[in-house]
Amino acid sequence: MHVTSFTSLAVVLGCLAGMGLAAATEGDQAPTAIFEHNWLGELTEISTGATVKNRKRAIKLSDGPISKCTDYPKGFGPPPTVEDCKAVVEQFKAQTGDITVKLVEGCVFKTSGTCTGSVCPQKLGQSTIPPATAAQFMASPVLDCIANGQRGWWIDGKNWGVGVYLT
């Protein structure tokens, strides 16, 4: 009976030591920029420029900024007007001091009429962007989406660590 107990204890200690060694070496290989995105309802960690397998398909991330226009969901009513969104862009331009967002705290929002503009974090930790820069990316290409009756977003690939949205 004592031999079985010692054998079990040795196996458990060996496993724990192996896990500790794996954790120690794994930390040295961690990517420097990790973004958390909710991709099709699953929370995954994605590093810039990496290929990630998710739902049995590979996703190649851009090394730079990307923008996209999407159709406005019918359940949300009509899309915002260009005039309202231009007013939101002007509000961001007029802001004094940098916009600082943290992943755990969420986005900075500004609204005018039927349009909401937001600057949201896209990486762990804190991200800072000058308001004029955020307004610049809202004005083009995101405002072009609104002009086409869609909503739009722009996500910085590396530098700022933020996403800019007009909805």
Q: For the chain, what are the domain ranges?
A: 1-29, 31-61, 65-166
- Rounded distance between C-alpha atoms, residue 76 and residue 72, angstroms: 8
Nearest to 51 by CA among 41, 40, 62, 43: 62
Angle CA 136–142–143, to nearest 5: 85
Token couple for 136: 């610049």
Angle CA 112–82–103, to nearest 5: 55
pTM: 0.60
pLDDT in 10s for each residue of the chain, 167 residues: 454 544 444 444 444 444 444 444 444 443 434 444 443 333 334 444 444 444 444 445 556 678 888 887 778 778 899 999 999 999 999 999 999 999 888 999 999 999 999 999 988 889 999 999 999 989 888 899 999 988 888 887 667 788 888 88
